[in-house]
Amino acid sequence: MAIEGAGHGPDGSGFTAVVLAAGKGTRMRSDRPKVLHALAGRSMLGHVLVAVQEAGAARLAVVVEPGRADVAEEIARLAPGASVHPQAERLGTAHAVLAARAALDGSEADLLVAFGDTPLITAETYARLRAPLRAGAAVAVLAFEAENPAGYGRVLTEDGRVRAIREEKDASEAERQVRLSNAGLMALAGPHALSLLARIGNDNANREYYLTDAVALAVAEGLAVAVVPVAESEALGVNDRVQLGVAEATIQARLRRAAQLGGATLVAPETVFLGADTVLGRDVTIEPHCVFGPGVVIGDGCTIRAFSHLHDARLMDGVDIGPHVRLRGGAVLEAGVHLGNFVEIKNATLHAGAKASHLTYLGDAEVGAGANIGAGTITCNYDGVSKHRTVIGAGAFIGSNAALVAPVRIGDGALVGAGSVITQDVPGDALALARGRQVTRAGAARALRETLKAAKAARAAKMARESAASE
Ligand code: UD1
Ligand code: MG
């Protein structure tokens, strides 16, 4: 999905988003930072960055664990304008927001705090969270009625008005009975944001600076605090790989629905796994059990047959592939290309109408318009050290089971005989045969068969004599 409208909110005014992503993620039991674990081929952090930009963030600041080049790279890739702020010590969510102080100072823009590990919050929800600020609220919190609120901060109300958020560890028995739970994210009105944040202390069970304390501070000053509802499933925070799996299922359900509403037929939707950035044209049909990795763009009227796996591939209109096709990095299939079963394409362009109907590998190649690649054709693109290109001309015909040893060029309209191992260029309209010449000897099969049978009988007779002599 394209990142559109970044820079300004729906009302035309920008806001600053601070994304907290300095968590260690111990429970993931991983060498990779938690926020880089992927959902639908995009990191959790990536989902959050895309959503807050879609919601209209004018400025984006991300708080990270110091020294994580991989996290910084992901931020540069998905939110090139974002500033990155290391948080040396993890002293709580308010402390983390203030780690991005350089991005907040001197700005009266509203502040939206997002978490890098709540990847399911949509752009629409971020925009809803911010809306009460325009109606005069100083703080807006996102909350849900939890099935089981254990572990969440509780949103405490009095006469229907928010008084405070109490973290589980600091809550009284009575407060723990409250089910209205804080999703964690918060919006703070520009004029109040920094002064509230700066006054938050750490006088609590964890000795942490809690962002949630902004609520009680605002209430004490007579400022309005709004609660914005969200579904518990959308507020899911990912702390372990079980939750990662739950989040993946939610994202896939959303992507499938969007694909269907956009004009694609998913024959068995629950078996199709889409990428967060998959682009599907109109009247695309996807048969059961297909997987789309990152970077796939499919044109109108394409058919992706069962058990195909696509990654970093572009299909123009009317392409028909599969079943069992694998497209790897840099596959470009122009209009009307047809690929049949067990065909693998890597870093190759097939021009309009080219066909490879069975059992073929085309890597580092270019295939001309209308060329026909016979069953079992392989481009031998790798010599163990370097990759080389194969160029096949328009209208060429490659016979079955040909090995094209790259670098090699087959001219337009050329014909390669079946079973050939082609090591030299073939000019246009030439016929190339590179295989042993056939020898046919009349009656020789029968003669050979008889010789073999006679030898077998002689061996059996010899064994029978030997065993009689030894008795
Ligand atoms: C927080 C909320 C809690 C809410 C819950 C929802 C606070 C004090 N509590 O608790 O009310 O119910 O989320 O899931 O805000 N982080 C940093 N640096 C820090 C601390 C945290 O970057 O010093 C990041 C974490 O990586 C994470 C996010 O902030 O992305 C939330 O921190 P976490 O420790 O998970 O807060 P909770 O205890 O879950
Ligand atoms: Mg948490």
Catalytic residue among 47, 95, 351, 358: 358
- Based on the domain organization, do 225 and 267 belong to the same domain? no
Verify that 42 and 158 share a domain, yes or no.
yes
Same-domain check for residues 45 and 183: yes
In a domain, residue 355? The reply is: yes
3-state DSSP assignment of residue 80: coil
Count of the separate structural domains present in the chain: 2
Ligand 1 neighbours, Cβ below 6 Å, are 20-23, 63, 87, 90-93, 95-96, 115-117, 152-153, 165, 167, 181-184, 210-212, 237
In a domain, 72, yes or no: yes
- Assess contact for 349 and 332: CB atoms under 8 A: yes
Burial of 178 (0-12, 13-18, 19+ CB in 10 A): middle
Q: Whose CA is nearest to atom 3 of ligand 1?
A: 153
In this predicted model, what pLDDT tens digit does every residue of 107-131 receive, in sequence order?
899 999 999 999 999 999 999 999 9
CATH number at residue 371: 2.160.10.10
Residue 24 pLDDT: 83
Closest C-alpha among 324, 349, 319 to residue 337: 319
Condensed to tens digits (0 to 9), the pLDDT of residues 314-364 reads 999 999 999 999 999 999 999 999 999 999 999 999 999 999 999 999 999
**Looking at the predicted structure, is the pLDDT value of residue 14 above 90?**
no
Report the pLDDT value the prediction gives residue 13, as an integer from 0 to 100.
66
Phi first, then psi, for residue 280 (nearest 5°) are -120, 135
The answer to whether position 428 is within a domain reads yes
Mean pLDDT value across residues 276-296: 98
Confirm whether 241 is domain-assigned.
Answer: no
Q: How confident is the model over 18-26, as a mean pLDDT?
A: 93
More confident residue, 77 or 471: 77
Could you tell which of 68, 93, 208 is best to mutate to test the pocket of ligand 1, judged by most ligand atoms within 8 Å of the CB? 93
Q: Tell me the CA–centroid distance for residue 185 and ligand 1, in Å.
A: 9
Domain range enclosing 303: 263-432
Q: Which numbered atom of ligand 1 lies nearest the CA of 181?
A: 12
59/52 Cα distance (integer angstroms): 10
pLDDT tens per residue across span 146-205: 999 999 999 999 998 999 999 999 999 999 999 999 999 999 999 999 999 999 999 999
- Out of 210, 229, 248, pick the residue that ends a domain: 229
382 touches 365 (CB < 8 A)? no
Average pLDDT over residues 8-34: 84
The residue whose two tokens read 């079963």 is: 341
Strand partners of residue 373: 356, 398
pLDDT tens by residue, 52-66: 999 999 999 999 999
pLDDT of residue 410: 98
Are residues 175 and 271 located together in one domain of the fold? no
Ligand 1 atom nearest to 115, measured from its CA: 30
Any domain includes 461: no
Indicate whether 133 belongs to any domain: yes
CATH number at residue 156: 3.90.550.10
Q: What is the mean pLDDT of residues 63-89?
A: 96
Using the mean position of ligand 1's atoms as its centre, give its distance from the Cα of residue 22 in Å: 10
Same domain, 162 and 310: no
What's the average model confidence in pLDDT over 389-417? 98
Claim to verify: residue 301 and residue 426 sit in the same structural domain:
yes
Is 358 marked active-site?
yes
Percent of the chain with pLDDT over 70: 97
- According to the model, what pLDDT value does residue 9 have? 40
User: pLDDT tier at 23 (50, 70, 90 boundaries)?
Assistant: confident
Residue 273 lies in a domain: yes
Confidence of residue 1 (pLDDT cuts 50, 70, 90): very low
Could you report the per-residue pLDDT of 241-266, keeping only the tens digit for each? 999 999 999 999 999 999 999 999 99
Residue ranges with CB less than 5 Å from ion ligand 2: 237
Atom of ligand 1 nearest to the CA of 210: 8
State the average pLDDT for the chain.
96
Band (4; pLDDT cuts 50, 70, 90): very low
